[in-house]
Chain A
Amino acid sequence: MTDYLTPFLEATVRTATPLALASLGESISERAGVINVGLEGVIISGCLGAVVGARSGSVLAGMAAGAVAGMAAALIFAVFVVWLRADQIITGTALTIGALGLTATLYRALFGTSGVALSTPTMGPLAIPVLSTIPVLGPALFRQPPVTYFLYLMVGVVWWFLYRTHAGLALRAVGENPEAAQAAGIDAVRTQGAAVLAAGALGGLAGASLVLAQVGTFTERMSAGRGFIAIAIVALGRWRPLGVALAALLFGAASALQFLFQSTGTQLPYQLFLALPYVLTLIVLAGGTAHARAPAALGRRDLESS
């Protein structure tokens, strides 16, 4: 079994990386009171952006382009939801449907209708000296592509921002009670807009890491529901950065189990294991206490109480 454990854990962290990036971003947005069901569309935009950006041969340019593409998709969402105050859920659904269609269309328009797989440069694992030699966990955590290390950093940065800066306090206040935040001189529209765009950048990076650290090419609908999974992860992680990171690992593990089963020839129905984290999320949501509840103004349209 130990022969399988380390690869399994490695695969867990690898599959969890884009999920964690996207859900970390989504948690920022939700903490500001905006739920972006269009995250799936943001991620797929990041995928396409990464492919275009990486045409230069630079993985870093690909990552940057992915983040920019994610922000562009999030900008559309922000214009409708934050500025026009349109319904978040419906706008998000439209963004997902539209971005899935548009990226596929653009891909064919840019790279030909034949649908020939275009391969991009990828970033390989970068072993961190000493740390990666820790038995079992070392390789899983510290022999990963650099984007995973960026994720580790971001978990800390987001935590620091939310709980150790006044701007983070303001953001959380906007998500709980926008009237109160505005009365204290906080610009709720700008705060929500910035949160959505930051979430877009991280969602775009998630898509880029999918292309540049895992698949190495673009395929239609390659985001494969990760945007929705991220929304589950945020709820399971109780809207806190570290909780979100751990929840992402759990969902990553469920996916990695599939590879494990396939490589060991286990006949267990892996679909049931894939469904498990969702069931768990529902249970956690149902058991939500005051500390685990969603931001009070999540999904609300109006900034003034009606």
Chain B
Amino acid sequence: MTFALELRDVSKRFGSVEALARASLRVRPGTVHALLGENGAGKTTLMRIAYGAMRPDAGTVFLDGIAANLRSSADAIARGLGMVHQHFALVPAMTVAENVALGMRGRYDAGAAAARVRALGQATGLVLDPGARVETLPVGAQQRVEIVKALARDARVLILDEPTSVLPPGEAEELLRWVRRFRDQGRCVVLITHKLREALGIADDVTVLRRGATILTGPADTLDEPALVAALLGGDEREGPTSSESSATLPPAISPAAILPRGPLPAGNPVATLRHVSITDARGRRALHDASLDVHQGEIVGLAAVEGSGQHELLRLLAGRLTPTAGDVTLPESIAFIPEDRHRDALVLGMTLLENVALRGLGARRGRMPWGELRDSTESLLARFHVRATGPGALARELSGGNQQKLVLGRELSSHPAMVVAENPTRGLDIRAIASVQAQLRAARDAGSAVVLHSSDLDEVLALADRVLVLHDGRVQVVDTPTRERVGRAMLGATIGISSGAAPADVPTAG
């Protein structure tokens, strides 16, 4: 049989890390093919090789049965491949038409480019304003630009890297419907995902990667969730967790079936109080609108929201990193903050672990740096939080993602903060590290801290939270009986069974 796209025995090594070890993938013509794997399993590397953005150390890429020596993305594009990256590859300052025309040759005619975008919109249902600047578009529309870009180059095989993770549930379903229609036209989609349900729901075939190797591949209708979980995790890994992570449990992202409504509200005292808080950003966009809420000792408040609903600002407000435009905020003295982009916001990769630990509270520090004390506390922190590193003098860059996050958690949690604010704390981590981070958050809650957790993975929010708040369009709402369905609808702005974030009795005494 001739495959539309085939990667055969592909290997790739980065320094000492073997990213791919004879991985294979076969995409039948006219199918949706789900590529599953944990973070770090090699999914993106494999697809970047397919797309010519990276060259394999060994192995071959075949397109329509012919060995393709792809030297660049331009080669791959010319042979009918298109890829939509998880982080969009768009030029924000340029228009939709200009972005779609990128990478073509010859004369550029703005009118013709706009006409092409309109024509593609009519043909595919992906309607866009060709003259709009990309930076003004919402995420869903930007994703459509990416897809149209690929289709404008006659992509027959479309690689979508975690396309639904940035979309609200309604738009995600719409996208998947579009993927089906595209497939029905006889073309191929490779869907990189970590959502089992999504994979089984839409794909014709499924391939599972683990540690850079193909573990499982076959038609979706012969597979079920347990089989995929087993393939993803590998039997050997489930039985013997290392002593440092013995408390680790399977993260909910993998077993989303077990979602239970939470018990009654915890009785702890409020440690943080927001009353009628609004935030308006520099461009005049209202990120947070008249938000009132309390966070209590000993509870995990789960914050569910689709991208761009104001959670970024609300979390920074609670972490004391942002001041409101209006309203009253009462925050505790010590707050731990775990931002989602740890490479950018939590760590200085080129500095030592010691220096990274010294970072906490640096803004208020005066006088001499107590390097001796800091070295001692860094050493004990590395031991207590099981950070695998050569010592306080190691560079943060040299640590694995999981160990970097453990360092951040250790730095932020070791002083027993009154409140912990965590934003996507498990993003990009492998399954062990996810379990460890979740256990740390629960431990902080059990030790009496107030924890505010946002995750773009709704299942994670539901699994960890004692109480669920939903943020939609800058407004905070409580979901009383947080089922997946009710929270999902509230995230999209449906008004069912919700109340304001603060208990009504608290409001008058706010100060």
Contacts and interface: CB of A to CB of B under 8 A. Distances in A.
Nearest to A297: B91
A169 interface: yes
A183 B85 contact: yes
A182 B99 CA distance: 12
Interface residues of B, number: 31
Interface string B94-115: 1000110111111111000000
Interface stretch (B72-80, B311-319, B410-418, B436-444): B72-80
B101 to A, nearest CB: 6
Given A173-B94, A185-B77, A180 B104 contact: no
Contacts of A184: 73, 77, 89, 102-103, 149
Interface string B33-47: 000000000000000
A113 interface: no
A180 B90 contact: yes
A303 to B, nearest CB: 12
Interface stretch (A76-84, A159-167, A202-210, A280-288): A159-167
Interface string A153-177: 0000000000111111110110011
B225 to A, nearest CB: 33
B167 interface: no
18 contacts: A164-B107, A165-B108, A166-B106, A166-B107, A167-B105, A168-B108, A170-B102, A170-B103, A173-B98, A176-B92, A176-B93, A177-B92, A180-B102, A181-B102, A182-B53, A183-B85, A184-B102, A187-B72
Pairs A-B, 6 closest by C-beta atoms: A185-B74, A183-B89, A184-B103, A184-B102, A180-B89, A185-B103
Contacts of A182: 53, 73, 89
A164 B87 CA distance: 29
Contacts of B83: 183
A296 interface: yes
Contacts of B90: 177, 180
Contacts of A167: 105
A220 interface: no
B115 to A, nearest CB: 16
A179 B107 contact: no
A168 to B, nearest CB: 7
Contacts of A173: 91, 94, 98, 102
Interface of A: 163-170, 172-173, 176-177, 179-187, 290, 296, 305-306
A10 B75 CA distance: 52
Nearest to B84: A183
A185 B91 contact: no
B358 to A, nearest CB: 22
A173 B149 CA distance: 14
Nearest to A305: B87
Contacts of B75: 185
B343 interface: yes
A170 B89 CA distance: 13
Contacts of A176: 91-94
Interface in B189-242: none
B110 to A, nearest CB: 8
Contact of A166 (B53, B76, B99, B104): B104
Contacts of B101: 166, 169
A172 B94 contact: yes
A246 to B, nearest CB: 23
A169 B92 contact: no
A180 B87 CA distance: 10
A187 B74 contact: yes
A66 B489 CA distance: 68
Contact of A185 (B73, B106, B107, B109): B73
A5 B77 CA distance: 58
A156 B347 CA distance: 48
A262 B78 CA distance: 63
A172 B101 CA distance: 12
B96 to A, nearest CB: 13
A163 B92 contact: no
